[in-house]
Structure 1
């Protein structure tokens, strides 16, 4: 582990994504911004005329053109900023693009209310016209959302608050990625290293208990010093969620969020209930971990250490690419070939640098190949992160290839299926590849950790979000200490058997996903669906694979629950979550036999 994080210009070009496929330079973005403003003037001329079928078609086509330009410029500016959050030129570009986005939403805010006023039967008759075939699902959505769209004036007012509404998330991102400094800790060899988001993931897995404890304590020492600021940022984000939900005539912020995917709130609550009923499995795993580690007491910073301490493997990025491609061979030659081409041709930004956004994600703009941001650090977790983000990227790649613009974007609810299925297939490949008992235990432990962190932990996050939003909706005044208490109590329930410390009560302060309300539950439901689909591909034949590949190519042409049902899994029932937890139990039993 290097003691110093490199600056962006010190990273070799082959390890950076290539954004020139979108724009040769940031200056080119300005041309698209100017074009959007020009097209907007024309688009606003359609106001009051959308009842005419031909005019409506012209408006829809023009809106598609504008939105693709806005999406392209926003995606590019966002990625440029993520390369280095302290780069003032990138920040200025992102601010200009974001301002245009707000101007765009304000200027087009008349569109949906005007469509909502039209007779829905008339719109359906328009949709029967072959020229509207790409807009049929969109028109169906108009009928479903009709009661939640406000008047022209109200929609314009709401749109004008777009930039302010995004302020809590922007403030947290800047604070978390650019301003917070975590100081230095001692690495395993006793040398001081700068603690960063990326390094923390490696240090918390250290076999040296003092190293991981030191990293854990230092990280939360810094977050504690900013507890009040982050609490106010988060509370205002929650208040914004609740306000917008109320204004749009939803019963709760949770209902507003699940409505976007046409998912019943019961799916969210069923996840929490099903995990609660099976929480004993997590407690069994904690007891197993304590036993294997030979510790009289186990703390939160002990949960991430590989149980096979003798098997200390590193995975250079090139090896990770090879393993991922081999692990995904069950998805067919074309899938593997397309992914290999992407990984070798500028899709991925691989290593951490100063100011780079932490974590990992995949993004993309219609008409261009997808991109993947990593902070690769040679761990097994990083290998699986590559497989995960590759799943997102290929889902985007095939959706964009096979769907018109209006139907190309899949919802977040199904997004985690493609990514987690890749992880399941990779795990299956690696377990079958080795006959070494220690390596099998290492991999089984990794798989158990994936379920712990993706199903149990994300469900705990989801429950935290639900409680906090409900308290705001009930008029309860939240404080930093109240948030810490809620989070601490949830940890006591979920992690029975772990010695609770004061630091864990602060974990909510560092979770970026909380600024996208009710997002994280989709990791848990996504993993459950992915395990079911992966088992079908592994145990079935070409039919199961074809259904899955058709799912990847479907984008957002139908509602997510329907798309998953067509692929072979019904998320309206508790069964997929129960099946995933049953798999967790089987792997725990298999691991126990190896120690």
Structure 2
């Protein structure tokens, strides 16, 4: 047996060009320290409005303007600490700073809770009158209208202040999950097909081994992954149950009909829209994805298609390695269809160290984009020289482009669109990348691109959608008083997976542990929104192909609108009505057409 290095590098050993440059937030850690200290003191500038915020239009304008400036400072302080922790959660100093920020934010949040409480004393008529007297208040129209919608579910000022003071405790389940996953979980090394010993980590599994053509390594990595998850299942179940029970309790305290109603409320979508995404896609997509899995089984010569084989490349002979530099060029070429302004943003992101692509001890798994107002976005990814990584990078740059444009065109209060829409700009970039790469006469390359595109749909229409289906079951159980033990959670996860894949895939018991993989469960009803976003981007990308510039212009206006519109109205600006379930069926049918094309390519 050959032995290879199994030691992942420390953060300090990573070349600077592979890391993000946080100087756009703070020029040094000392500068951040000073600002953290300053914001804890300067909160008094805002609390000086307590008891008189809504006294008249002038005071309201001055108070909200000061609050907006102050909140922007808080965002930068928190983002800096969060990004350092994501880059290396094992570092004691980063852990300490994250804890300090969480504590400071809880204290500040409690002090600022009066703002919403005093706004709630207003009514729509008073707000209209104030805005006529002080037109500058129109900049806060969304904040004020959202507050009015929250009014029926708001508790007494004393309780709201208490909850704000307890935010660090109430948010603890997510912090515990992230800390444990990045710092405590250890995975046994694996042996690949060639007999080489390879290092194993959660990031390496999710970004490399799941996609490898080496069946021995892929299955060994899955076994290593599952063995470690098994060791933590009871602790993680207790942690997740705490989060769910907290949400259920809060929904009752606030007077919502259900926890689902409470979690959908900030998304500003109806329960029908939520259930349509879960029900229609599960029902109508299953057949297409089963065909795709059977095609993989046949072409890979597998005696059985296991759950851990679902992301294996369809054509192992054509799985081109892609350097980060090559990926940058391909992505920029693909996104030129979006015009100069958008292309310039992407170029900046790829050339000015907005991206952290290293693999080091303590780095958070997966990928994300953080977009602090007043600074440029930051993308975290673990780069593994695969073209699939290019799609993930394009995805995160979609978030970056969206929030960069929203931040440039809206004030802080108006930048954040509903999470129902949030994954549309990101998946749009994946589709544009695929469309660009499909322009080839090379049959094998085109087949490979289709399989990559199906990887996008697998991620959003299968992985995250089934997470949403699992999540719906969990909330139903919790509201009915069923204890959420590890056995219950694993059983429900297995039931969702087996229902979708039928007899096309061997879903082993270890697959039931995969509810432990994602942090999204600590973010409310987030998982299903991936499918909503991809439904939108699927239809809009087709419009761009058919109409060209007019469709691009509409889409850019949607991105620049930020959070100024509710999701239904925002998406209608792009030309799609998401209250019509037929649009979901059209997106699913497109996935079916890709599988058809893939099958036909082998005839």
TM-score under structure 2 length normalisation: 0.96
Asked whether the 8 Å contact 2:106–2:168 carries over to 1, the reply is yes
The residue that corresponds to 2:169 in the other structure is: 164
Counterpart of 1:126? 130
> Once the 2 structures are TM-superposed, how far is the Cα of residue 453 of structure 1 from its aligned partner?
2.4
Query: Is 1:223 aligned to residue 229 of structure 2?
Result: yes
Q: Return the match for 2:242 from 223, 233, 236.
A: 236
Measured in 1, the distance between the counterparts of 2:253 and 2:245 equals 12
Q: Distance in 2 between matches of 1:569 and 1:149?
A: 33
What displacement does 1:188 show?
4.0
**Alignment-derived partner of residue 365 in structure 2:** 358
1:283 is displaced (CA, Å) by 2.2
Report 1:334-483 matches (<5 A).
334-432=341-439, 434-483=440-489
Distance 2:196 2:296 in 1: 29
Return the alpha-carbon distance in structure 1 between the equivalents of residues 490 and 522 of structure 2: 17
Q: Which residue of 2 aligns with 1:547?
A: 554
The answer as to whether partners of 1:270 and 1:574 remain within 8 angstroms in 2 is: yes
Contact 1:127 1:135 in 2 (8 A): no
1:509-556 CA distance string (max 9 Å, x none): 222211112101110110010011111112113221111011111111
Q: Kindly indicate whether the alpha-carbon contact (under 8 Å) linking 1:4 and 1:193 is maintained by their aligned counterparts in 2.
A: no
2:70 matches 1:66: yes
Selected match of 1:493 from 488, 495, 499: 499
Provide the rounded CA distance (Å) in 1 between the counterparts of 2:312 and 2:123: 60
Q: Does the alignment pair 1:517 with 2:524?
A: yes
Corresponding residue of 1:321: 328
Q: Matches of 2:281 and 2:548 in 1, distance apart?
A: 31
The aligned residue for residue 55 of structure 2 is 51
Decide which of 143, 147, 157 is 2:148's aligned counterpart: 143
Residues 1:197 and 2:210 aligned together: no
8 Å contact 1:72–1:365 — kept in the other structure? yes
Offset of residue 460 of structure 1: 1.2
Q: Distance in 2 between matches of 1:250 and 1:546?
A: 39
* Equivalent position SS for 1:192: strand
SS in 2 for 1:362: strand
Distance in 1 (CA, whole Å) between partners of 2:349 and 2:490 is 43
Question: Are 2:268 and 2:418, in contact at CA under 8 Å, matched by a contact in 1?
Answer: no
C-alpha spacing 1:108/1:538, structure 2 compared with 1 (3 Å): same
Partners in 1 of 2:515 and 2:213 — Cα distance? Answer: 26
**Aligned position for 1:559:** 566
How far is 1:367 from its partner?
1.1
- Asked whether the 8 Å contact 1:187–1:203 carries over to 2, the reply is no
Are the counterparts in 2 of residues 188 and 206 from structure 1 also a CA contact under 8 Å? no
- Give the distance between the partners of 1:97 and 1:277, measured in 2 at CA: 44
Who is 1:505 aligned against?
A: 512
What is the match of residue 213 of structure 2? Answer: 207
Q: What SS does structure 1 have at the residue aligned with 2:369?
A: strand
Aligned residues: 594
Structure-1 separation of matches of 2:25 and 2:131: 33
Structure 1 residue 2: Cα displacement:
6.5
Q: Distance in 2 between matches of 1:267 and 1:594?
A: 36
User: In the alignment, is the contact (CA less than 8 A) between 2:192 and 2:198 conserved in 1?
Assistant: yes
Q: Deviations over 1:296-347 (max 9, x none)?
A: 3211111111111111311000000000001111101221122112211121
Instruction: Could you tell me which runs of 5 or more consecutive residues in structure 1 were left unpaired when the two chains were aligned.
Output: none
Shift of 1:118: 2.2
Bigger mean CA deviation after superposition, 294-303 or 521-530: 294-303
Whole-Å Cα distance in 2 between the matches of residues 43 and 91 of structure 1? 29
Aligned positions of 1:99-114 closer than 5 A? 99-114=103-118
Q: In the alignment, is the contact (CA less than 8 A) between 2:56 and 2:130 conserved in 1?
A: no
1:253 counterpart residue number? 259
On the 8 A contact 1:465/1:517 being kept in 2, the answer is no
CA RMSD of aligned residues (A): 1.5
2:114–2:161 contact (8 Å) kept in structure 1:
yes
Q: CA deviation at 1:35?
A: 2.6
Output the TM-score relative to the length of structure 1.
Answer: 0.97
8 Å CA contact retained: 2:396, 2:426: yes
1:42 CA drift (Å): 2.8
**Hey, what's the Cα distance between the residues in 2 that align with 1:414 and 1:538?**
21
Q: Measure, in 1, the Cα distance between the counterparts of 2:577 and 2:100.
A: 43
Give the secondary structure class of the aligned counterpart of 1:117: coil
Structure 2 unaligned blocks of 5 or more: none
Alignment deviations for residues 425-453 of structure 1 (CA, whole Å, 9 cap, x no partner): 10011111x32222222111122232122
- Identify which of 32, 35, 38 aligns with 1:35: 38
Measured in 2, the distance between the counterparts of 1:338 and 1:457 equals 30
**Contact conserved, 1:4 with 1:194, CA < 8 A, in 2?**
yes
